[in-house]
Amino acid sequence: MSARNRELLALLPVAILVTTGFAAVFIVRSNEVSDVSLIYGGYFLALCLAAHLFLRFRLPNADPYLFPLCALLAAIGLVVIYRIDDQLAFDQASVFVLGLVVFCLTITFLRDYHVLERYRYVIATVGILLLMAPRLFAPVNGAYLSVDLGGFTFQTSELAKLCIVVFLASYLAENREMLSVAARRFLGMTIPPLKHFGPLLVVWGAAMLMLVFIRDLGSSLMFFGAFLALLYVATGRLSYVLIGLAMFALGAYVLGSNISHVHDRLDIWMDPFARGAPDGAGQIQQSLFAQADGGLFGQGLGESLLKLTGPFAPDCSSPFPECGSILPAPHTDFIYAVITMELGLFGACAVILIYALIAARGFKTAVMAPDGFSKLLAAGLTAIFALQAFVIIGGVTKVIPLTGVTLPFVSFGGSSVVANMILLALLLLVSDRARRPPADTSIDPRDLDGLVT
């Protein structure tokens, strides 16, 4: 079976899942069976088939499982958001269509993605400016996360992460030998030459400074992890990673001691149930209670107590689902807690498994890539995607301090969906070139007749 036929076959369970999910929520709400869920499932399958046909003609050799796995995450997100709020689900579906359009445009205009190498410093500058832009607008929960233009809100850090990864991949592909061969030993540690390591530190340091400046801790962790991952892949020097971790520990101590916003997050992480816990501790408390309420198999889609009703319902006129919700921000930061509450531990682990499979396919693409830039680009994109999932799931489950990043393809948010669609398109472009069969270089003996003397 060809790669594209395997992709088509893998999309069928996705359509079945989104149809049954919508049907389950609809039955719980109205206590009747309707063809509405079939219509929703049909629309979703039609969109996925359109993208599949586009890939069949444009990238016939690309990885057959990356797109179905991402579509499966998007389907789960749509069903859970529909369970939370109908209008938000409609908005998310509209954003998914926009994301597919951007996905197709990226593949069309970046067929030769190596052109990005020539503009790495321009791309890095754009990334830093995107990180700086939210500082011009009002903060959200103490952090400068988004840009608000004409009523449209966009998290610029989602696109900035792609810019920084492209720069790191391009620069390391050109200077990897200098960083690994020309390095010096000092106290048992390998120190890279400053001449070649300096520009890398300047751009990465500027990005990290902007992230601290806008107080976006989740993106800071993602950028730092992607930087170390790419540095290790490019040079194979474990000492670079150890030095980076030591720098991270020092920076975390300094920031945690001097910035109240960071200090509060650490206190909440250490003991959210402590007396006099900082404001915001209730978020992680409710998240842990909700996940415990799900048990192994969950309460069922639409069956859990997400909002207080009857005489206990709060007086609230806000149209957003946070109003009156037991679980804060259930459609964005804490959507994983909703999944655990309604689908149980098994359902939550299935979501984690999907992210693990995407990471495995992404790293396999990096291994198969034919050149250094392609390898580092695929590895960097996969690393930052997997780290984003780890950061938000780890924060909601109290493995690490809670940060305000979105769960890729699942959380509500247009900027996240569009940026991750671009990321997926770049991965498929690298995969198509890596899996392309070699050209037939054999020589027909009849072509040698004229060469024999």
Asked if pLDDT for residue 192 goes beyond 70, the answer is: no
Query: Bigger pLDDT: 399 or 68?
Result: 68
Task: State which H helix or E strand residue 101 sits in.
Answer: helix 86-109
Asked if pLDDT for residue 322 goes beyond 90, the answer is: no
Per-residue pLDDT tens digits for 137-152: 766 666 667 777 766 7
Structure tokens at 135: 């500082």
pLDDT for the residue 221 = 77
Residue 247: half-sphere exposure toward Cβ, Cα within 13 Å: 14
What are 153's strand-pairing partners? 148
Q: For residues 108, 97, 430 and 361, what is the CA-based torsion angle, rounded to 10 degrees?
A: -160
| Burial class, 319, CB count within 10 angstroms (exposed 0-12 / middle 13-18 / buried 19+) | exposed
Share of the chain above pLDDT 90, in %: 32
Asked if pLDDT for residue 106 goes beyond 90, the answer is: yes
Per-residue pLDDT tens digits for 207-247: 666 656 666 677 777 877 888 888 888 887 777 777 777 77
What are 149's strand-pairing partners? 152
Residue 262 and residue 82: Cα distance in Å, rounded? 33
Residue 401 and residue 291: Cα distance in Å, rounded? 17
Per-residue pLDDT tens digits for 389-426: 998 999 889 888 877 778 999 998 888 899 999 999 99
Sign of the CA dihedral with 226 first, then 231, 236, and 242 last? negative
pLDDT for the residue 424 = 96
Block residue for tokens 């489950």: 397
Structure tokens at 346: 């098994």
What are 139's strand-pairing partners? none
Domain ranges of the chain: 114-258
pLDDT for the residue 317 = 53
Asked if pLDDT for residue 187 goes beyond 60, the answer is: no
Helices then strands, counting H and E runs in the chain, come out as 14, 4
Residues 168-184 have a mean pLDDT of 74
Write down the pTM of the prediction. 0.89
pLDDT for the residue 283 = 81
> Which ranges constitute the DSSP H helices of 315-334?
none
What does DSSP assign to residue 191?
E
pLDDT for the residue 453 = 42
CB 218 within 8 A of CB 405: yes
Tell me which amino acid residue 379 is.
A
